[in-house]
Chains A and B, each alone.
Chain A
Amino acid sequence: MSHQPCAIVGVGQTHHKSRRWDVSLGGLVREAAQRALDDAEMTWKDIDAVVVGKAPDLFEGVMKPELYLSDALGATGKPMFRVHTAGSVGGTTGIVAAHHVETGRHKRVLAVGYQKQSEGNAQFALGSGKGASIGAGGAFAPYMRSYIDRSGAPLDVGPMVALKDRLNAFKNPYAHLKIADISLEKVKASPMMWDPVRFLESCPSSDGACAVVFTDEEGGKAAAAAGRQPAWILGSAVRSEPASFPGRDPVAPVGAADCAADIFAQAGITRPLEQIDCAELYVPFSWYEPMWLEAHHIAAPGEGWKMVESGATALDGSFPVNMSGGVLSSNPIGASGLLRFAEAANQVRGMAGEHQVDGAKVAIAQAYGASAQYFAMWAVSSSLDPFGS
């Protein structure tokens, strides 16, 4: 590959809540971006270009809001780029920002993803204003039923994922949902919203933003020399496929498998469960954790749920997943993908705080969108050459 190395040297996010009425749209993105700059020990004038990602503008009622946000993002006199690839957008935003550096065009790039869902009504926007909207839960529920059937997973696995992510959220100061006295019983006793998915197995609707500062090899090495561990991007990829055609399998989409194979090849990963220390996967509904472990060829078919059941995906397990509490705990859609990518980076930077996986050197992150048809992934590491090739 001819491209140049790219390092993540700053990460910031907001406290995610159902309503951040204390801040404007600008204030929300600003809060995350300022934290990322502080983390990178940079100021606004150090940034060469800004990449903004978010899901539908109809959610807040401002068309192409990056135009109005240009001063909040310090973008005046700089290139500003706007990505929208449905739920995967946060991931795509991170990847596009990385390309700005990998092509050698820019040295320091700020990526920001956000959603302020309290500014509008997502159910309204998703259903184009019509009644009997099935919502994302209704759309994905049949996929999860299919997964349960084909994998032979016991019905407790979904609630177990929910419990794990909700417990992880207690260790993440930025997480939106922190449910007191959470227990398996409590998850199972919660209302069945989109059979087979219960209320406490589903993601919230959040206001929130995430920001990441990318830099070139020189910048990454300078941060490392100053004692601030960078996260190096080992590989990144996106894939899209049509929403529906006879025989398409949304439980194990080809796009997901291709996307994972692409980053594994770039990163030199041949034995994912051994070589990857932890993963942040886009799991808006509990069953997506085992389903995605299998679809992305991290676990063999039918083995994903066993990892959940054995505790392997818990914070202290052999392959922790969604250490941050994941999308189940905070879901500002446009930021959700970038949050996954940022959390993976923070793990290998050793900066994940209470939800740090000890000694994490290689982490992956994934995001998906629309009818499980848009995929974005990356692999990051504390080293440019973690496997000593």
Chain B
Amino acid sequence: MPKTTGHDNDIAIIGWSISPMVRNIEYTEARMLLDVVTGAVNDAGITRDDVDFTCAGSCDYVAGQAFSFVQNIDAVGAWPPKRDSHVEMDGAWALYEAWMRLQIGDIDVAVAMGSGRSSTSDPELLYSMEMDPYYLAPLGADAISFAALQARSLIEAGKVTERQMAEIAARTRKAGKDSPYSQVTGDFDPDELLKTDYVRNPLRKHDLPPITDGACAVVIATAARARELCENPIWITGFAHYTEAHYVGMRDLRTSNSTTLAAKAAGIADGPIEVAEIQSAFTHEEPLLVEALGLGADTLINPSGGPLSANPVMATGLVRISEAASQIRDNGKHRTLGHSTSGPCLQQNLVCILEGDKA
């Protein structure tokens, strides 16, 4: 039995906006947010004045400045003063906070945002700052190296091959050609890709995400307000996130327990998932996440091109949820999924399940 949607207590997505995805944007993070918030409220057919709560996701270390998010509030529109919050996490978690906030019942409309300009620094150096400050950061242990350690674990466990990884890169970057929100796209021959040098053996350049500047905003509303504002609200029927141990040597890198926990808590088993937009920034993470989510071969993965086509850190997860929503509103799908992740080797994972009204 598919879960019935649109109960009085449910929250629905009613609009969103994704910025252009570029290697190096010439304007500020605040300006990126200005555009996507305007785009999202327009998409929802409302104005900033109708928004009761805003929540942003961004990162001081990506921006290179303490309290960097404070400047962004000028673009969001907080006058008269707004109920507002900020998470030092991907915008997908900002959406989670906004989703909880609307369930309190006193307000009806919220906007969640995610934004980041990775172009301003060297991610190879930056992301080691995210690691354990006693055992890992002093080694300069970087995110690509962590991904490569996990990739080899998967390859040697027989869960993926380098050939399959090249095929994933080729498939997603081909899919990205049709998306206005992709950055690195094209037709690639997996055989040719496999002839290129390793960046971190077993990872080659095509296994890595691009460095992207970008932002995303999503408007959500309570059931009654969503029905007023929108013909086809997209219901958030499941939303959960979990974390696991930080130190990768203490985890089984061939699985992603926190993804499985989140999927279960979000009610993934209540019906088939037609499309999953997952934050697999590295090629090998796709089969790992698909397995951890329990998805079958009939689920379409990252038709937008996914993070391998555009990876606006701190917004990548919220873009996934927007793309999953778009599959329902624009492509006639009924039940889709957005996923986000954070930390070395997929330490923390979030699953958001969306359903449309139409069967």
Contact = CB atoms under 8 A, between A and B. Distances in A.
- Kindly name the residue among B65, B104, B342 whose own CB sees the greatest number of chain A CB atoms within 10 A: B104
Given A76-B243, A77-B257, A24 B134 contact: yes
Nearest to A266: B106
B97 A96 contact: yes
20 contacts: A3-B103, A3-B105, A56-B67, A62-B137, A63-B59, A63-B60, A64-B61, A70-B243, A71-B245, A76-B243, A76-B244, A78-B243, A79-B243, A80-B242, A82-B89, A83-B97, A84-B60, A102-B104, A239-B81, A258-B81
Contacts of A239: 81-84
A145 interface: no
Interface of A: 1-3, 24-25, 55-65, 67-71, 75-86, 92, 96, 99-100, 102-105, 125-126, 128, 237-243, 245, 253-255, 258-259, 266, 370-371, 373-375
Contacts of A92: 85
A241 B81 contact: yes
B246 interface: yes
Interface in B86-107: 86-89, 93, 96-97, 100-101, 103-106
B19 interface: no
Contacts of B84: 85, 238-240, 374
B89 A240 contact: no
B80 A76 contact: no
A242 B101 CA distance: 22
B334 to A, nearest CB: 25
B66 A56 contact: yes
B46 interface: no
Contacts of B70: 86, 243, 370-371, 373-374
B78 interface: yes
A79 B67 contact: no
Contacts of B129: 61-63
B240 A79 contact: yes
Given A61-B129, A67-B343, A258-B80, A79 B85 contact: no
Given A70-B244, A76-B243, A84 B105 contact: no
A67 B246 contact: yes
Contacts of B243: 67, 70, 75-80
B87 A84 contact: yes
B2 interface: no
Given A2-B105, A255-B81, A370-B70, A64 B87 contact: no
Counting from the closest, the 8 A-B pairs by CB-CB distance are A2-B105, A255-B81, A56-B66, A240-B84, A63-B61, A241-B81, A103-B103, A63-B129
B76 to A, nearest CB: 9
A254 B130 contact: no
Contact of A67 (B126, B242, B261, B347): B347
B117 to A, nearest CB: 15
A1 B78 contact: no
A64 B103 contact: no
Contacts of B344: 67
A63 B89 contact: no
Contact of A240 (B81, B87, B100): B81
B342 A77 contact: no
A67 B79 CA distance: 34
Interface size on B, as a range, is 35 or more
B89 to A, nearest CB: 5
B202 to A, nearest CB: 25
A5 to B, nearest CB: 12
B60 A81 contact: no
Contact of B79 (A2, A242, A375): A242
B74 interface: yes
B79 A245 contact: yes
Nearest to A56: B66
Interface of B: 9, 54, 59-61, 65-67, 69-70, 73-74, 78-89, 93, 96-97, 100-101, 103-106, 126-127, 129-134, 137, 240-247, 257-258, 261, 342-344, 347-348
A77 B79 contact: no
Contacts of A266: 106
Given A84-B86, A240-B54, 18 more contacts: A58-B65, A61-B129, A63-B129, A64-B61, A64-B342, A67-B246, A70-B246, A81-B241, A85-B86, A96-B85, A128-B66, A237-B83, A238-B84, A239-B83, A240-B78, A243-B73, A259-B81, A370-B67
Contact of A254 (B60, B81, B101, B242): B81
B82 A68 contact: no
- Kindly name the residue among B132, B137, B243 whose own CB sees the greatest number of chain A CB atoms within 10 A: B243
Contacts of B81: 239-241, 253-255, 258-259, 375
A258 B54 CA distance: 16
Contact of B348 (A55, A80, A103, A126): A80
Contacts of A103: 100, 103-104
A100 to B, nearest CB: 7
Nearest to B62: A63
Given A80-B243, A86-B70, A241 B348 contact: no
Contact of B66 (A100, A102, A125, A258): A125
A367 to B, nearest CB: 13
Contacts of B240: 79
Contacts of B97: 81, 83, 96, 99
A377 to B, nearest CB: 12
Contact of B104 (A1, A78, A253): A1
A99 B101 contact: yes
A313 to B, nearest CB: 26
A102 to B, nearest CB: 6
- Kindly name the residue among A70, A80, A105, A375 whose own CB sees the greatest number of chain B CB atoms within 10 A: A80
Contacts of B80: 241, 254, 258
B133 A126 contact: no
Contacts of B83: 237-240
A374 B241 CA distance: 27
B132 A70 contact: no
Nearest to B70: A370
A60 B81 CA distance: 31
Contacts of A63: 59-61, 126-127, 129-130
A238 B82 CA distance: 8
